[in-house]
Amino acid sequence: MRDGAWRTMLGLGGALSLGVAAAWWATAGFRAITYDGARAAAIAEAPVQVPDVPLQTANGEVLRPFAAGDATRDGAVTIVDFISTRCPTVCVAQGEVFRQLQDSIAARGLTGRVQLLSVSFDPDDDSGYLRGFEETRRLQAQRWRIARVDGAERETLLQRFGIVVVRDPQGGWRHNAALHVVDARGALVRILAVEEGVEALRVATVLSAERLVRR
Amino acid sequence: MNARSLLARGLTASGETAHADRDGLRRVVALSGAALVIGMMVPASRAMLEATMTRHMLVQLPLMLVAGSAMACGIPASVRARVAPFNAGGAAGMLLALLLSACVMVPRVLDAAVASVSADLMKGLCLIIAGAALQLSWQAAGQLGQAFAVGNACWMLGAVGLMLREAPTRICASYLEGDQQRAGLGLVLVAALTGGTWLWGIRREWWLVMPKAQAPENAARGEGALLG
């Protein structure tokens, strides 16, 4: 009888251990229950280097914003978001956050130290759409750029940032929106929710100040 | 869930069928389970079953569980006898099945399964083990244990379903809102259907689950019946 109870307890203990192990796997080490949560937690713990892919602006200029120590960036910290210029929902919210951040960067004298970059993942976004976005959102080129990424580099970039793009039935795109802070050496160091614009700017400011001190 | 429980009951119940026939049937069921798993892991069917959250959660996940149960039918009696002492009253198996099936409903797991084959295999393994654990435990659990498991599964499915249905944003990066809401509604319906079917199944023996408190001799007899 006592022997039986011992085995039952062992069985229950085994089941519980296996269940807890599965939960650990499912939640990426008890860190998150969503893909986005896990992605943000992983990046905060271990930043990843963003591949140095070329991006095209509306006027055909090629940006390489993720090259370590790239001249076009002057060692600035970049807050990156991913958009489609015709996405009616979450991209509008992102655009509004970026517009406010652009104002804050100007007001706090952070121009050249912190910059904003909207990357269009939409293959249909041609120069005309990018220019339209620049005009309606009143982008100030020294603070906020928009560029698109093409072909195989698009997949590489989206994958490294952890962006999942889904086609919706209306023919548009949906994606997991967020604010991505990339330091001056092209490392993705933080991922924040769209509504955490203030925090993103704080992180970027601190990073850019660290850069200045190191100089 | 109901199909599985019926399957589990039907195949473990000592019916009038001859031993050899039953062993043959068990083997066929186990092989069908394995075939179902392989069929679902073929890239084309995997893409089809995971194209929407509704299919993913309401078709693929339950089928994997059923396949796991079916495969467990092939476990020989000698192995069952050796496992049984560790699974008294089916408690360990039921616990394992509940925990593992809860894990695969974590939104991150659904996204990871869509994005990577290895995560999908891990998810499938969880469900196969859960299904097998249920098959090995269902009979042993008795009606009280079954009531506990079904009740837990119902609230879990219902809660996940309502969460998906009411969430103001997309929970999974791979799926759209409308799909998420349909999947949520589907889970709530599955919860209701599971509970309803189980209650219907025990409609003649409901008093076994709830022994009468005011009649000690009845209660004692009821408990004896449950444990025996």
Q: What is the mean pLDDT of chain B?
A: 86
DSSP string, chain B: -HHHHHHHHHHHS--SS-HHHHHHHHHHHHHHHHHHHHHHHSHHHHHHHTSSHHHIIIIIHHHHHHHHHHHHTTS-HHHHHHHGGGGGGGHHHHHHHHHHHHHTTSHHHHHHHHH-HHHHHHHHHHHHHHHHHHHHHHHHHHHHHHHHHHHHHHHHHHHHHHHHHH-SS-SSTTS-HHHHHHHHHHHHHHHHHHHHHHHHHTTTTHHHHS--TT-HHHHHHHHHHHH-
With CB atoms and an 8 Å threshold, state whether B176 touches A174: yes
Rounded CA-CA distance A75/A215 in Å is: 11
Other C-beta atoms lying within 10 Å of the C-beta of residue B110: 28
Cβ atoms A199, B201 nearer than 8 A: no
A window 4-63, beta carbon within 8 A of B: 4, 7-8, 10-12, 14-16, 18-20, 22-23, 25-28, 32-38
pLDDT for residue A182: 94
Beta bridge partners of A175: A165
B98 contact residues in A (CB cutoff 8 A): 19
Express each pLDDT in A108-124 by its tens digit. Answer: 999 989 999 999 999 88
| Identity of the residue in A4, A8, A34 whose CB atom sits nearest the CB atom of B108 | A34
Express each pLDDT in B21-56 by its tens digit. Answer: 888 899 999 999 999 999 999 999 999 999 999 999
Rounded CA-CA distance B131/B64 in Å is: 8
pLDDT (tens digit, 0 to 9) for every residue of chain A, 215 residues total?
A: 556 789 999 999 999 999 999 999 999 999 999 999 999 999 999 999 999 999 999 988 999 888 875 544 457 899 999 999 887 777 788 888 999 999 999 999 999 899 999 999 998 888 899 999 999 889 998 999 999 998 889 999 999 999 999 988 888 888 999 999 999 889 999 999 999 999 999 999 999 887 665 55
Confidence of residue B5 (pLDDT cuts 50, 70, 90): low
Looking at A47-164, list the stretches that DSSP marks H as alpha helix, in order from N- to C-terminal side. 90-107, 127-136, 151-161
A167 token code pair: 């086609």
Rounded CA-CA distance B90/A11 in Å is: 10
pLDDT for residue A89: 73
